[in-house]
Amino acid sequence: MVNYDDISKVYDRVRQADADLIRRLLQEIDAHPSAHMLDIGCGTGNYADALLRLSHAHIVGVDRSDEMLGHARQKNAQVSFRQGDAEHLPLDDALFDLVYMTDVIHHVPHIDRMFGEIRRVLKPGGKTCIVTQSHAQIAARPIARFFPATVTVDQARYPDIPAIIIAATGQELTFLDEEINGDDEAVLDHSFLELVRAKGYSMLHLIADAEYRRGLARLEAALRQGDLTIRQAGRTLVWFRR
């Protein structure tokens, strides 16, 4: 079990808002300067904060963790942050033009219930964007080179893209598109090493200690030889409309 109250202490070093993804989400509300947006599993509010600063949208963030929400409220008091989970959203019907989730769906036990809730809180014609990774992207992650056990762990946790589409359309959401985003090269440096040492990535809490220690030793040895430029695996954006 991953304790996100504990991870909140290093979360902002792992989950910084990605500029390309923010631009993509903002494209969806260009015609609606007063749009209402919902961030499910908002964590410490990185995306909600950035989107509010760059738009006139009304933004609500929902998360289960008290500690995550505490950090989020300190970051931006103009966002309405509420405690709740994806299967039981503490919100009224038909409120939002856009609902998004960034790397959260694998924490949801019953994604069919989640999509039912998303449909409920979306306005007619409103859209939802599920930001996740396919099973192929999980296998291609830079971290998998050093911690191969994380591939098995996360492929078991993450619903693959076809399963997401089936669950959403089963709740009367219309599938729109599947986009690949963020698969550029990146340098793994000593800041990445420090995050691994702090187990800032949730999958590192789910592998055996011996596997973690072996992977950490491999990473430390590789970085002693210089920076590593490795292509990022990217992420998949799955779009639906109510």
Q: What is the pLDDT of residue 54?
A: 87
| Average pLDDT along the chain, 242 residues, taken 10 residues at a time | 43 62 87 85 92 89 94 91 96 97 95 98 97 96 94 96 98 97 76 88 93 96 84 93 98
Q: E strands, the chain, where?
A: 36-40, 58-63, 80-83, 96-102, 122-132, 174-181, 185-188, 228-231, 235-241
Q: What is the pLDDT of residue 172?
A: 98
CATH architecture of 4-183+234-241: 3-Layer(aba) Sandwich (3.40)
How would you classify residue 94: left for phi > 0, otherwise alpha for psi between -120 and 50, otherwise beta?
Answer: left
Instruction: Show the tokens assigned to 184.
Output: 């550029």
Q: What is the pLDDT of residue 167?
A: 98
Tell me the CB-side half-sphere exposure of residue 68, using CA atoms within 13 A.
24
Integer Cα distance of 200 and 205 in angstroms: 9
Q: What is the DSSP letter of 55?
A: S
Asked if residues 107 and 171 have their Cβ atoms less than 8 Å apart, the reply is: no
Residue at 15: amino acid letter: R
Question: What is the per-residue DSSP string for 79-115?
Answer: SEEEE-BTTB-SS-SS-EEEEEEES-GGG-S-HHHHH
- The pTM (predicted TM-score) of the whole model is 0.87
Integer Cα distance of 117 and 111 in angstroms: 10
42 C-beta neighbours (distance < 10 Å), count: 27
CA distances from 166 to 129, 138, 169 (A): 15, 20, 5
Q: What is the DSSP letter of 52?
A: H
Q: What is the pLDDT of residue 109?
A: 95
Instruction: Show the tokens assigned to 60.
Output: 């609500």
Q: What is the pLDDT of residue 5?
A: 46
Report the side by side order of strands in the sheet with 122-132: 80-83, 58-63, 36-40, 96-102, 122-132, 235-241, 174-181
